[in-house]
Structure 1
């Protein structure tokens, strides 16, 4: 590797440290090199255990191996998540009974649901509950809200655990909107947290439709705890099309992939 190449790799790591994620297309423009060169730099940095490559770029190892706090997740890729939330809300009909889980992407649905009529929303998200209460008090949302009881995870502003799972035993919904931490064709959808994975699995089992909301940083990223195989998913909403190499797996699973542009 030339000195120029090493300097470019240092620049990539600097950008990654500031933003948490880098995109190949942005690096091409910023460093003035080809996409093939950027991919080679990222491969070398991954081999050096300095980052983890994901679809479209790379993420910091801390992002790859542990879940960010709720506050940090809220601001990360906020515009992409807003677009995904808008498309997801468009799938909700008046009179639906839905689950919105605690993921920061799923929470972006709520502002687009406020004028729908006769909804019932089940959620384990403390932030989502507070937002829905605020909308109700402002007469912007007139539906019913069911808050899942259980163990409080204060770092992530959510409820999970065995009590929450038992709470859901007798609740059945039309649509479950699920956020994830990772997705790979061979692994399915995954989570950093075992309790969260179990509850998400319960949400999906008790729903007629399971809809996964995932920004593109989750694609190709495998995390520790499995939620479901791809076959358990009806719809995936992402701001990017699925990787071409995933086409067969997506088709075999019968998944509708919606791109939030």
Structure 2
């Protein structure tokens, strides 16, 4: 592999986001350069606050933070949500405009957006907003942040309601990342809360690509408010492969399924 220095460093950061760590000897073999060159790259990236060097390689920066109160109650499937968030973030490209909703799964995306360039992120998540502001202040997030404001639902740490919907109507995004409470092939995707569900529906209508993020516990669940039919969705990212009995219907509805590894 013949890459210039900056491309090699971008590769290192990509691997770091995917795996959480990189090893010097793996990078030497993959990039076909000396261990001294790899160490120099890691030193430069650490100086830029992009990673933390450790013996034998480097690890992703782990910035300690107090978890939002609503997230503390969402302890089930935490590892699955991290994998899904990482896979979702991998779909975000430099210069993208993206909606990120208030779900605890979409929240996991933010840690993996730090090496993207010139993003515009719009969110109604109070917790997500704080994370983005913190990363921006640390020079780790590159882009613009918009908070979709409205009536604050304090227990759920989000904004909802008519004002938030009106604000969404002022924007168009490349991608919308939406968490859900229920998923059925014939009933579509659903939400516990009507106001939140209506806002999610607005995100779908104002995005070129609609992406659902969900762990398998939502499969077969039907909740109060219908967000959308499956044919209105472009991609589904989950912690497992699509159930075999859903494959034909997903193909008919032209929905792509991604299993987060």
Task: Give the TM-score normalised by the residue count of structure 1.
Answer: 0.72
1:233 is displaced (CA, Å) by 0.5
Match of 1:239 in 2: 239
CA distance in 2, matches of 1:167, 1:225: 21
Structure 2: 5+ residue stretches without partners? 1-68
1:242 is displaced (CA, Å) by 1.4
Q: Secondary structure at the match of 2:156?
A: coil
CA distance in 1, matches of 2:142, 2:246: 41
Q: Is 1:183 equivalent to 2:183 in the alignment?
A: yes
Match of 1:141 in 2: 141
CA distance in 2, matches of 1:249, 1:218: 18
CA distance in 2, matches of 1:194, 1:205: 17
Q: Is the 8 A contact 1:73 1:104 kept in 2?
A: no
The 5 A counterparts of 1:89-100 are 89-100=89-100
CA distance in 1, matches of 2:244, 2:105: 24
Structure 1: 5+ residue stretches without partners? 1-68
How many equivalent pairs are there?
193
Match of 1:224 in 2: 224
1:74 is displaced (CA, Å) by 3.9
Query: What are the superposed Cα offsets for residues 77-127 of structure 1, whole Å, 9 maximum, x if unpaired?
Result: 111000000110000000000000000000000000011100000000000
Match of 2:174 in 1: 174
Q: Which region of structure 1 is more displaced relative to structure 2, 111-120 or 69-78?
A: 69-78
The 5 A counterparts of 1:65-80 are 70-80=70-80
Q: Secondary structure at the match of 2:155?
A: coil
Q: Is 1:84 equivalent to 2:84 in the alignment?
A: yes
Query: What are the superposed Cα offsets for residues 224-245 of structure 1, whole Å, 9 maximum, x if unpaired?
Result: 1000000010000001111111
Q: Is the 8 A contact 2:100 2:177 kept in 1?
A: yes
1:198 is displaced (CA, Å) by 0.3
Q: Secondary structure at the match of 1:75?
A: coil
Task: Give the TM-score normalised by the residue count of structure 2.
Answer: 0.72
Runs of 4+ in 1 over 6 A off after TM superposition: none
